[in-house]
Structure 1
Amino acid sequence: MIRNVLLLILVWVFIGVSCREDIDKSQLEFYEGPIRISHDIELLHSDSAIVRTKLMADKQLEFQNGNTEFPEGIVIHFFEKDGELSTTIRADRGYHERKTDLYRGEGDVQVHNLLKDQRLSSEELFWDPRTKKIYTEKFVTVEEPTRIIKGTGMEADEGFNDYKFTKVTGIIEDIL
C-alpha cells in the first residue's frame, strides 16, 4: 500500500517536471511604467472657495510610487485673491514628485506675470506649492517692459512678483 502511494507520488512528480514549460523570464521582471494614463487633465486648488491655482495637461502618467509625469506639456495658472489670473507657467514636459510635493518643468519653460508684464524663460524650473516659490539653477532670461536681465539661478514667489538671481550676467540699467 505504501509502495503504491510512493509510486503514485513519484509518477505525479515526473509528469509535473516533464510537462513544465520554459518560463520567459522577461515576463517576471518588475513593471516600472505608468499604472494610469489620463488625458485632458484639469486640477484646481482653491482656498476659501476661491480658485488659487489651475493645472492643465493634455496627458498625465501616474506611477506606482505616486509620482506623475506630463510628457506633452504642462500649464499652471495662478490667481489673485479676487480671482484674477495673474501668472502662468508653461513647460514642454512636467513632473510631480509626490514625496516632496515638488513640480518640475523642462524644455522651453515660460513664466508670464500678466499684471506686471514680466516674462521669464529657462530650460528648467521648479515650483514648490508648500513654500509658494519657483526656482531654478539653470540659465534664466527675464524680460520686463524696460529691461532684460540674464543670469544663472533664480528664486521667486510663485506669482513671479519678486525675484532674485544667484548670478547675474550682462549690464542692468535702471535698477530701481
Structure 2
Amino acid sequence: MFSNSLSIRYLHYQIFGKLTTINPSSTGFKCLLFAVVAIGSFSCREDVDKTQLATYEGPYRTSYEVELLHSDSAIVRTKLMADTQLEFKNGDAEFPDGIVIHFYDKEGELSTTIRADRGYMERKTNIYRGEGDVQVHNIEKEQKLNSEELFWDKNKKKIYTDKFVTVEEPDRIIKGTGMEADEGFNEYKFTKVTGVINNVL
C-alpha cells in the first residue's frame, strides 16, 4: 500500500506534473481519492490459495432420542435405539453416546439384544459397528457375548468380530479370538478358541 507520507497533493503532482491546491469538495479530489482507495485495496488483497480451504467433513445433522424400526409382514424385526445420532453427507451415521439394537422372532417377541458404548453405520455396505463394551444377549438361550468390537451386517443378517470374545452359556464359558454368528446369536462359531470353562453354574 502507499505509505502514510504520500500526500494527496504529491500524488496529484505525480499524475498531473504540477503541484496545486486541492479543494476537498471538488469533483476532481473525490475522483482522485476514490482512485487511491481502489488502488490501495487491490494492492493489499492477498491471493487466496483455494487448495488451503478446508472441506467440512463433519455431521450435517444431529438427532436425539432416535428409534428406528424395521418390519416385515407388519411385524417388527429390529429396533435400533440411540440417544444421539450424527448424520453425514455421504449417508453414514455415528452414535457417540451408545447404541442398542433389539431383534424380534417370527412371533414378534424380543429374542436378542446388542448394546455398545459407541456405534457407527456405513451406508454403502449397510454394516453397523459397535465399539467399547459390546454385549450381545440371546434371551431364550441365555447366551451372552462380550467383545470390544462387533459388526452387524444387516444385509447378510449376521454378526461377527475378529477381536477377543467371551461367550457365556448356562453351563460353560468359552473364550476365543474371532467369531461369527447369525444376527439372533442362535448359532455361532469361533475362529480360534483359547479356553473353555465347564459347569460354571
Letter in 1 for 2:106: K
**Per-residue deviation at 1:22?**
8.2
List structure 1 runs of 4+ shifted beyond 2 angstroms: 10-16, 18-28, 171-174
Equivalent in the alignment of 1:6: none
Question: Aligned pair 1:105/2:130, yes or no?
Answer: yes
Question: Aligned pair 1:124/2:149, yes or no?
Answer: yes
Please report the TM-score for the alignment, with normalisation by the length of structure 2: 0.75
Q: Which deviates more from structure 2 when the two are superposed, residues 122-131 or residues 10-19? A: 10-19
Letter in 2 for 1:62: E
Q: Distance in 2 between matches of 1:72 and 1:171?
A: 33
Letter in 1 for 2:101: I
Q: How many residues align?
A: 165
Aligned pairs (5 A) from 1:145-156: 145-156=170-181
**Per-residue deviation at 1:15?**
5.8
**Per-residue deviation at 1:81?**
1.0
**Per-residue deviation at 1:139?**
0.4
Q: Distance in 2 between matches of 1:99 and 1:12?
A: 54
Q: Which deviates more from structure 2 when the two are superposed, residues 60-69 or residues 102-111? A: 60-69
Seq. identity, %: 75
Equivalent in the alignment of 2:159: 134
Deviations 1:74-128 (A, max 9, x none): 0000000101000000000000001111000000000000011100000000000
Q: Distance in 1 between matches of 2:190 and 2:197?
A: 12
User: What SS class does the counterpart of residue 64 from structure 1 fall into?
Assistant: coil
**Per-residue deviation at 1:171?**
3.2
Aligned pairs (5 A) from 1:61-76: 61-76=86-101
Root-mean-square deviation (Å): 2.5
User: What SS class does the counterpart of residue 14 from structure 1 fall into?
Assistant: helix
Query: Of the two structures, which has the highest relative contact order with CA contacts closer than 8 Å and spacing of 6 or more?
Result: 1
Where does the alignment leave 5 or more consecutive residues of structure 1 unmatched? 1-9
